Every structure is written in C-alpha cells, then in structure tokens.
Structure 1
Amino acid sequence: MARLDSGSWVNGLKTAACAAMIAGSLGWAAPACAESLLDIDPAPETGPGQAWASVAEMIMVYYDVPNTGPGDMQCSLAYFLTGTPNCYKAPDESEFTAVSRIVKGYPQFAHESFGELPIAMRWEEAKTIPPQDIIQEIKFERPVLVQIEPAPNEGETKAEKRAVLIVGFDGGPDNLQLIINDPKVYLATQNPYLEFGGKVRDQSGQYLIGYADFQSFLKWSATLWKIKPD
C-alpha cells in the first residue's frame, strides 16, 4: 500500500480543500491551491539509458512492492521484463512501455514470489489528462506515469519516448504547475524543462513546469493513471 505519514496526510487535506473550493466555485474564477506533493523522492538514473528503471523503482517502492532479488530492485525489474540478468530493458522497447508493464505485472509476481497474497494493480490509460484529473490523482495519493518525447540531446540520433512521473502540483486548474520526477541526467544546456520555462526543484531530478508547456513542448503523449493496488 502507499506510504502514509503526517506530511502526506496534511498534503491530502490541503488538496481536498482545494478540490472542494474548485468544485464550489460554480463559474467563479478558480482559486489558487497550495502545493501538494507525494512522498516519492527523486533519484537520478544510475547509468545512461536507465532512467526508466528509476521511474519504475519509484512506483514500486511507493506502493511497498518487495524486491524479488537477488540484486537491487532495478535489476530485478529488468529481469522481470527480459528474463536476463543484465539489468537493462530490451533496446527496442520504449521507456513508457517498459514501466507500464512493470506496473501492470510486477506487483502480483513479487508478492507471489514471497508466498504472499497476490496484489494486482489497477490503472487506466489515456493520451493526456486535464488539470482537474491531475489534482484529483494527487489528492488520492496516486502518482501519474506519463510519456514524453522531448527533442533529442546532443549525441542522440532520435527523440526517445521517455517515462517520467507526475508526483505533485502547485496552483489550480487555470494555472497548474506540475511537479515531475525525471531521473534522466541532462546536460545543463540541453535540459528541456529549463528550455521551456520550468525550474529545478531538486538536483536529483525533480522539476516544476507549467501544465501547458509540459503538454506542448515536452510532447506529453501517453498516460497511465488511477494506479492503485487492487
């Protein structure tokens, strides 16, 4: 289950109050909302091409899914996908597809591996979701997995379909700022978040960026949401 502490409980109350104000506005200007952030620490990729594994690990740790071993969790997740011990996903599989398969299948596999009751994950798929749904997901303490396709960095031959995690927000539906955990290590001059008006919140890979800028310029193209244990 998702980890709950006093901080996340307070954030939940703030977000619920914000949602109530929005629902009650009935045509009036939407009120500004305080920042709300899930208890999911950012972590940079452990090596080139491993950002997907960091995102998958963030989700599994958040939902208390055990590591099947024998190595670290990222290698265990890769082994689940490929059946090989090299700690990498298949090169022809996108980050988003790899992490989606982890969310959909690994929790049940991991719990069964320890002789525990299987816990399947529920989810829904979409292209993008509107600001109101982002607020609702964070209110219910659920991270949102999204696919982006930013322009390739120097040395990259083509744009990647990458996986990043929405873990919070600031503002309201009319001025929503997304808090994103993105483990990829960007060159300082080639960071798409900074290029399109975003800010660094944590040097380990957490950013604040406007909803519209994220959707348009980082090319948000797929979503896995309503992620929760069954």
Structure 2
Amino acid sequence: MSIRATRTPGLPVEDSDAHTWTGKARRWLLGKLPPDKLLPEDQPSYVMSWAYVFGMGAIASLLWIIISGVVLGLSGPQWYHVSSLGSFVNSTHLWSVELFFIFMVVHLWLKFWMAAWRGGRVLTWITGMLSFVVSIVAAFTGYLLQTNFDSQWIAFEAKDALNAVGVGAWFNVANLGQIFVWHITLLPLAVGAVVILHVLLVRVHGVAPPLEAAEGDAQLLREGAEPANASESTTLPGSAALPESAERGDVAR
C-alpha cells in the first residue's frame, strides 16, 4: 500500500501532485487562464483603436444598469413614480440600457467586419451574440415593468403573439409578479453569466487583431510554427504585410 507524502499547509502544490478534483480543476484553470492573461498589464498596440472601445462601453453601461436596477427594485414602483429622485434613477436606468444596446450593436458590427471569430474565437463570438439576444428579452421585460398605460399596451399586444407561438402559459406577460422575477433575477443572472464567460474567453484567446495584423496573432499561427526570422515581417499567403508597430512588438500600456 502506498502512502502519499504529506506537505506543509500553506505551501503550493505542484501540478504533477494534484490528485483531487479541486487540484485538477486548479491545474486546468491555470493552464487555460494564468494570472498574466486574466489581468494583463500590456495589450497589443492595435487595441488603442476606437474599434476596441465599444465593448468596454457596453460593460460599463451594464454595471450601471445593475446598480440602478437594484435601487429601483428595492424601492418599488411607488418610489420611482412619485419621488423626483426615484424618477431620476429610473431615467438613468433607461438611458444606461439605451447606451448598452448602442455600444453592443456597434461592437458586434465592428467584430463582424473584423471576422473576430478567427483564431479559435468562435465561442467568443457566439457568447457575444447570445448576450445580445438575452439582453433583448431582458429589455422587453423592463418595458413591461413601467406600470403605466404604455406597459399595459405592450403587455397585451405581446400576449397575443406569445400565445400564438404556444409559450404564453409559461411566460405570461400580463402577470406583473412573474415578469418582475424574470426581469430582476433570472434574466440579469443570464446576461451577467454570458458576459462574464465572454470576457473570460477574450482573456483566454486575446483580443481579435485587425485583418491587416492577422499574421502577427499567435492564435492564427499553426502550432509549433515560428517565423523564419523574428526580426523580419512575416506575411502569410493572401494577407497584407504586418504593420510596423506589430513587427516591433509595440504594446499599449
């Protein structure tokens, strides 16, 4: 019978010594997302372009949506219909949603024309699209929670459409309590989970490079393939020459 060697508590365990599911999970996570990739200090120089700003703008808007939504949910409709402060918070919640969708749509279009699914980033692209779809449903339930004549009109118009496709029994837009739970609990959790997964995938694979800098992206190089001369520009067949900044390895700090 073999006896495992004991170790001093608090000391790190080598990856080869991991024999439990927690140790194996740690080894897998660190292999996929080491700390320097999770919280990098440097980014490629092309990240300084405006094309890479809108994704962060969408995340910033989402954070304020969550903060203002928590305040509105705790205070209730009576507060944001009567109180001037409540009306202000309600308005900022609405406009943060508007900004969120503006930033997200621009971000998605830019990434589409950049072919951002290149280099093993297909799942990153899919999670981005999925977050957009789930956000539309979340925004729809938000309109139903206005508790005014506008929300009543939207609810009863949508009720007929949902009944026509056979989901009205499970998603009753005329039931304010059910919609309240969907809007402040289930859908925000879904949006948050997909967005977090999307950001983690971006960290794993790195930001998608512009098409003209594609050959400088390590994710697009074949495994084990290295340029013949690192000091010279590497050009793949049918692609543009690598920009001078990428050749020098410039980074944005």
TM-score, normalisation: structure 1: 0.28
Larger radius of gyration: 2
More strand by share: 1
TM-score, normalisation: structure 2: 0.27
